[in-house]
Amino acid sequence: MPEKLTSRNLLNQLQTRHYTNAYAAKMKGQLVGWATSIFPQEFCETMGLTVVYPENHAAAVAAKRGALPLLEQAESEGYSVDLCSYARINLAYMKSQAAEIPIPLPDFILCCNNICNTLIKWYENIAAELNIPMILIDVPYNHGYEPTPAAIDYIKSEFGECIRQLEKITGQQFNQERFQEVMILSNENSRAWKRALDLNQAVPAPLNGFELFNYMSQMVCARGRQETGELLKLLIEELEEKIRLGKSCYEDGEKCRVMWDGIACWPHIKHNFKAFEKNGINIVCSSYPEAWVLLYEPGNLDELAKVYSMIGNNTCMEYQADKREREVKNFKLDGILFHVNRSCKVMDFMQYEQQRLVAARTDVSIMNFDGDQADPRNFAAAQFETRLEALMEIVAHNKSAKKSKEVTNNDPA
Amino acid sequence: MITAGVDIGSTSSKVVVLEEGEKILSKVIIPVGAGSSGPARAFEQSIREVNLSREDIKRVIATGYGRNTFTGADQQITEITCHARGVYELVPGVKTIIDIGGQDAKAIGIGKGGTVSNFIMNDKCAAGTGRFLEVMSRILEINIEDLADLAASAKNEISISNTCTVFAESEVISQLSTGTAREDVAAGIVQSVVGRVAGLVKRIGVQSEVVMTGGVCLNWMIIKVMEKELDVPVIASPMAQLTGALGAALLAFESAS
Ligand code: SF4
């Protein structure tokens, strides 16, 4: 009897296919693009273009422990160690193409600075080195709670320019009907992704946080595709079944529920997982995979502009704190782990104030640790473990104090 | 009941043996830490001094950086919880703890009943740690214990602009080679550590009583400058670097009773 297809297997198949298809397209002489991770993929998907995502690729390289040679190569070429490690990995890869998972070099690049401005210089560099066109969707930072009408108009005008440039690069016309279909599909997938993430509100949570990071790759690379919908459907079914059976993702059950704030520490993900498992701590939610929940009314370009503008890093302090506060409640969190990421300055800059705000509004325990999303040198295992264990001790103490208070309160005497 | 706490740091091993969670039977410090024979030697010595054997000790808790490598313990608890427990015993009014260890510095917020409400540690960097002071004392050719007295005699304190220990080392060397007085450099070193650690403390919020633990709290100049920097009195833990081991021994007593 053939084995039942699990969502995990399907995810692996889809991710492998994503990279092999890109190579096959290149071999056939088709155009291949590189895009930043939260670029409005609706436009290139409508044009039927093959696109790969350097940040996703760099993460995969780092998780397979292949980052260091590329980082050293970039540094020997003159890139600063202070530069985002995804950028260093990709800029080195562009030159040497030395990685276990290969991606074809691009014929055009798509950049949206809704997550940071490092991307602009990084992509300009690629465009200059490879002498290829670059499409930029420049998104102003949201100092207020939401984008201003002027910002929305500005972003929409760039959507128009993006379409014109894509038509020029491909020599094809942009098909509005197909655009509508892609938007509908993208929203269905985003909704399903949100549903899958929200299922982890169950106690115990059915999905391990590190798995969240894995499934997320499909949302980065193919959130406007049919097959992503199939994957998410399967994942949701599995999670619902686990919830029905009251199954935790850990054999010994879940002792502590936390949010992982920031990007994963890809080179040390196995170590991190073991440290969490040993302590019975589960990452039930994270700001990271959440970023690919992009919901808007299909066909409404104002909303499309707004949703791509309101990505975590691009939003104000208050908006982010409100979001975290909601998550503490909805996911019944005991703690939040802030990854102070050497690479991602824009994220780190807001972290301490976020910690203060969330600590003032909730009774969640907070811990932070130093690391890096892809540079293995910026992480110390012993320090990480001590902080994690200390967090666990605080949470365990708070829980038992709460329990004994409840017992006292319920005591009829 | 007799219990023990073994605190294995990166540069020293400390043991406290307690009777009935109250009376200190012995305390030992050996200046070698994790990965050496120090922890086992310190433990042996502490029980031998009072004519006890391992069997007489009901429960042993290991803490500190090397806590997981000490095979003689019944349980491991982080130094954050152990320092909090130790200080709470010695200074019940404590609200904020500053612990400067060999390779890290931490600020711990203390809530009701001496429990940890919040903590923050230095980032992956030796700045603001005991190691920084050690490296700098070596360049000044003095014992680390003499750094406070030397710094106190400064007339024109210099400011050390580099936080990186390696860069600060060359900065100090070049200051000395251009004729800056050693005491002025020493004062700059103290200020650099205090500035760095005070930043951590301010992040969790300074609340009195503020107590400092770890070997570095024996440096009276650090305490004095810290008081100025935080604008509150700072108490040096009466048991200095033994505070964590005391906390571990107390927690061992509480969990065994
Ligand atoms: S990790 Fe941070 S700095 Fe690097 S590309 Fe992403 S958002 Fe930008």
Give the start-to-end residue ranges of the domains of chain B.
Answer: 1-91+241-257, 93-236
Query: Is A340–B123 a contact, with Cβ atoms under 8 angstroms apart?
Result: yes
At residue A368, φ and ψ (nearest 5 deg) are -130, 155
Banded model confidence at residue B147, pLDDT cuts 50, 70, 90:
confident
A348 touches chain B (CB under 8 A): no
Contacts for B53 with CB less than 8 Å, ≥ 6 apart: B47
Query: Is A367–B123 a contact, with Cβ atoms under 8 angstroms apart?
Result: no
| Residue A36 Cα to ligand 1 middle (Å) | 10
Tokens 């079944």 -> residue:
A241
Q: What is the least distance, in Å, from the CA of B81 to any CA of chain A?
A: 7
Provide Rg for chain B, Cα atoms.
18
d(CA A109, CA A34): 5
Banded model confidence at residue A413, pLDDT cuts 50, 70, 90:
very low
Per-residue pLDDT of B59-94, as tens digits, reads 999 999 889 888 888 999 999 999 999 999 999 999
Q: Is the CB of residue B20 less than 8 Å from the CB of residue B253? A: yes
Q: Is the CB of residue B160 less than 8 Å from the CB of residue B189? A: yes
Closest CA to A371 of A334, A324, A407, A338: A338
Predicted confidence (pLDDT) at residue B102 exceeds the cutoff of 80: no
At residue B38, φ and ψ (nearest 5 deg) are -50, -55
Q: Is the CB of residue B98 less than 8 Å from the CB of residue B107? A: yes
A360 touches chain B (CB under 8 A): no
Q: B28 has which bridge partners?
A: B15
Highest mean pLDDT among A155-164, A362-371, B103-112: A155-164
Neighbours of B117 (CB within 10 A): 18
d(CA A403, CA A383): 30
Closest CA to B221 of B166, B145, B165, B129: B145
In a 10 Å sphere around its CB, with 0-12 CB exposed, 13-18 middle and 19+ buried, how is residue B222 labelled?
buried
Report pLDDT for A383: 85
What percent helix, strand, coil does chain B show, rounded to 5? 45, 20, 35
Summarize the confidence of residues A161-171 as an average pLDDT. 97
Closest CA to A37 of A225, A289, A372: A289
| Three-class DSSP labels, B170-208 | HHHHHHHHCCCCHHHHHHHHHHHHHHHHHHHHHHHCCCC
Q: Is the CB of residue B79 less than 8 Å from the CB of residue B12? A: no
Banded model confidence at residue A284, pLDDT cuts 50, 70, 90:
very high
In a 10 Å sphere around its CB, with 0-12 CB exposed, 13-18 middle and 19+ buried, how is residue B252 labelled?
buried
Question: What are the helix (H) ranges across A31-66?
Answer: 41-46, 54-63
B203 touches chain A (CB under 8 A): yes
Residue nearest to atom 3 of ligand 1 (CA): A344
- Cα angle value A26/A30/A34 (rounded, 5°): 65
Per-residue pLDDT of A188-219, as tens digits, reads 999 999 999 999 999 999 998 889 889 999 99
Interface ipTM: 0.78
Report pLDDT for A407: 66
Per-residue pLDDT of A315-325, as tens digits, reads 999 999 999 99
Q: CATH assignment of B1-91+241-257?
A: 3.30.420.40
Residues of chain A contacting residue B80, judged by C-beta atoms under 8 Å apart = 386, 390, 393
Contacts for B116 with CB less than 8 Å, ≥ 6 apart: A390, A393, A394, A397, B80, B81, B84, B108, B109, B110
At residue A261, φ and ψ (nearest 5 deg) are -100, 115
Q: What is the least distance, in Å, from the CA of A134 to any CA of chain B?
A: 37
d(CA B236, CA B144): 17
Side-chain-side CA neighbours of residue A90 (13 Å): 31
| Residue B161 Cα to ligand 1 middle (Å) | 29
Query: Is A386–B115 a contact, with Cβ atoms under 8 angstroms apart?
Result: no
Predicted confidence (pLDDT) at residue A344 exceeds the cutoff of 60: yes
Look at A87 and B166; give whichever has higher pLDDT. Answer: A87
d(CA A203, CA A257): 9
In this structure, whether the domain defined by B93-236 belongs to CATH 2.100.10.30 is answered with no
Contacts for A407 with CB less than 8 Å, ≥ 6 apart: none
Query: Is A383–B121 a contact, with Cβ atoms under 8 angstroms apart?
Result: yes
Look at A288 and A142; give whichever has higher pLDDT. Answer: A142
Q: What does pTM read for this prediction? A: 0.86
Look at A234 and B141; give whichever has higher pLDDT. Answer: A234
Closest CA to A395 of A357, A367, A355: A367
Q: What is the least distance, in Å, from the CA of B46 to any CA of chain A?
A: 26
Q: Determine the 3-state secondary structure of B216 from DSSP.
A: helix
In a 10 Å sphere around its CB, with 0-12 CB exposed, 13-18 middle and 19+ buried, how is residue A132 labelled?
middle
Report pLDDT for A288: 82
User: Residue A371's closest chain B neighbor by CA?
Assistant: B124
A331 touches chain B (CB under 8 A): no
Residues counted in chain B = 257
Return the structure tokens found at A95: 């030159």
Atom of ligand 1 nearest to the CA of A344: 2
- Cα angle value A192/A194/A196 (rounded, 5°): 70
**CATH fold match for the domains B1-91+241-257 and B93-236:** yes
